[in-house]
């Protein structure tokens, strides 16, 4: 059941419409329950959208893109806009029957940067488990390569000039109904059973195509000059 028709940003600009879930609310079971997905999407994700609509009413931000709002705002407007972007990216970082290993150019980049996909998995899970409090766990392109990072609260790579490749929600509302306080088990299920490597690979390929000289960001230090706006094009193209 897609809920988007009931959760549209009525009257708002087209680009601020809440994006629909890319799958049924029960599609990620048994790893993430339909109850968690529905609550997460309807109450939390849509809640940020509703709050932003109120916050930007009759302000210049009302006609700005979501990414422009994220790059130029602060306070509650930034927090709510960033949470909309983060959740859109999170839903698309997963798919039913996901997991496994990345292929193609992303697989090669992971091997160059981490040594192996298994090492990436260990580092990703460790970073997520050790992150204190609410936030987000990311695989990003950073300067001349890939790296794993976490951000606090609503913060996101776009604000730091990095390009998001993959993300996991570390807020308790993402896993508490299914895993209680066992964030590590949730992250294992995310990585082993749900990761959408096709989405991550598309993000990587688009980042590589945008990099100077059309080289993968991990292949040349020239990519340090890549503009922060790259991530906007990457996300739009991947959804
Ligand atoms: Fe969330």
pLDDT value of residue 87? 98
pLDDT value of residue 222? 34
pLDDT in tens, 9-49: 433 455 577 899 999 999 999 999 999 999 999 999 999 99
214 to each of 5, 113, 135, how far by Cα in Å?
39, 19, 32
Q: For residues 238 and 228, give the distance between their C-alpha atoms in angstroms, rounded to a whole number.
A: 17
Q: Model confidence at 143, in pLDDT bands (50, 70, 90)?
A: confident
pLDDT at 8 over 50: no
Domains in the chain, please, with CATH? 4-17+31-92 (1.10.287.990), 104-238 (3.55.40.20)
pLDDT in tens, 214-239: 455 644 433 322 333 333 333 333 33
For 133-198, give the DSSP string.
SSEEEEEEEETTEEEEEEEETT--GGGGT-EEEEEEE-SGGGTHHHHTT-HHHHHHHIIIIIB-HH
100 Cα to the center of ligand 1, angstroms: 24
Q: For residues 128 and 176, give the distance between their C-alpha atoms in angstroms, rounded to a whole number.
A: 15
pLDDT value of residue 236? 33
And the tokens for 72?
């130029």
pLDDT value of residue 84? 97
Q: Average pLDDT in the 197-226 region?
A: 68
34 Cα to the center of ligand 1, angstroms: 14
206 Cα to the center of ligand 1, angstroms: 26
Tell me which residues have their CB within 5 A of the ion that is ligand 1: 44, 169, 171
176 Cα to the center of ligand 1, angstroms: 11
pLDDT value of residue 104? 95
pTM of the model: 0.85
223 Cα to the center of ligand 1, angstroms: 31
235 Cα to the center of ligand 1, angstroms: 18
Residue 28 has a CB neighbour count (10 Å cut-off) of 25
Bond into 30 cis (ω within 30)? yes
Residues 6+ apart with CB under 8 A from 155: 82, 135, 136
């Amino acid at each position: 059941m897609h809920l988007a028709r009931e959760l549209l940003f009525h009257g708002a600009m087209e680009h601020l419409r809440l994006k629909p879930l890319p799958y049924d609310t029960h599609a990620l079971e048994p790893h993430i329950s339909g109850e968690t997905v529905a609550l997460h999407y309807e109450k939390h994700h849509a809640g940020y959208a509703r709050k932003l609509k109120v916050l930007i009413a009759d302000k210049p931000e009302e006609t700005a893109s979501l990414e422009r709002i994220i790059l130029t705002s602060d306070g509650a407007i930034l927090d709510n806009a960033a949470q909309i972007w983060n959740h859109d990216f999170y839903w698309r970082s997963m798919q039913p029957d996901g997991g496994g290993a990345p292929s193609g150019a992303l697989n090669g980049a992971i091997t160059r940067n981490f040594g192996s996909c298994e090492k990436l998995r260990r580092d990703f899970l460790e970073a997520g488990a050790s992150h204190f409090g609410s936030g987000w766990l990311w695989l990003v392109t950073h300067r001349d390569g890939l790296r794993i990072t976490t951000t606090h609260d609503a913060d996101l790579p776009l604000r730091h000039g990095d390009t998001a490749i993959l993300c996991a929600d570390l807020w308790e509302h993402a896993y508490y109904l299914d895993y209680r306080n066992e964030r590590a088990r949730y992250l294992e299920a995310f990585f082993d059973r749900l990761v959408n490597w096709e989405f991550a690979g598309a993000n990587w390929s688009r980042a590589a195509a945008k990099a100077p000289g059309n080289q993968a960001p991990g292949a040349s230090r020239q990519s340090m000059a890549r503009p922060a706006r790259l991530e906007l094009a990457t996300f739009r193209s991947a959804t």
